Amino acid sequence: MESDPGFIAALEEAKKGYAEGGKGSATLHAEMSALENSGRLPASAYEGATMYTTLSPCDMCTGACILYKVKRVVVGENKNFMGGEEYLLNRGKEVVVLDNKECKELMEKFIKEKPELW
């Protein structure tokens, strides 16, 4: 699964966002950005989709995945933050946790270097 093009793209976007310093938004997380960047589509367009994320999704992003009927959420790591995985599972969504070393290291670096944002 770690060689899946969707996960590789999510990891590359996370690295790029970290290097650029983010967008300065408290709510534009990667999951929300992915939905936003896909354009104004009806919720049915996302039905059955897979959301790839480097970190377990927060409650806001979990809600967006449920609202838009995303079928599966692939999580790079959930050691630094345990988000809404249980809620996703309870709502019938598939959750795959990769426990990816690179994702853990990137998040640990972010927490250490930017604690004011965490």
- For the chain, the domains span 5-17+30-117
In angstroms, the CA 112 to CA 118 distance is 9
pTM of the model: 0.91
Q: What is the CATH number of domain 5-17+30-117?
A: 3.40.140.10
pLDDT cut 70: percent of the chain above it: 99
pLDDT for res 52: 97
* Catalytic residue set: 31
Are 7 and 74 a contacting pair, CB within 8 Å?
yes
pLDDT in tens, 1-34: 678 999 999 999 999 988 887 777 788 898 999 9
Kindly state the tokens that stand for 43.
Answer: 């919720």
How many Å is the Cα radius of gyration of the chain?
14
Determine the residue type at 98: L
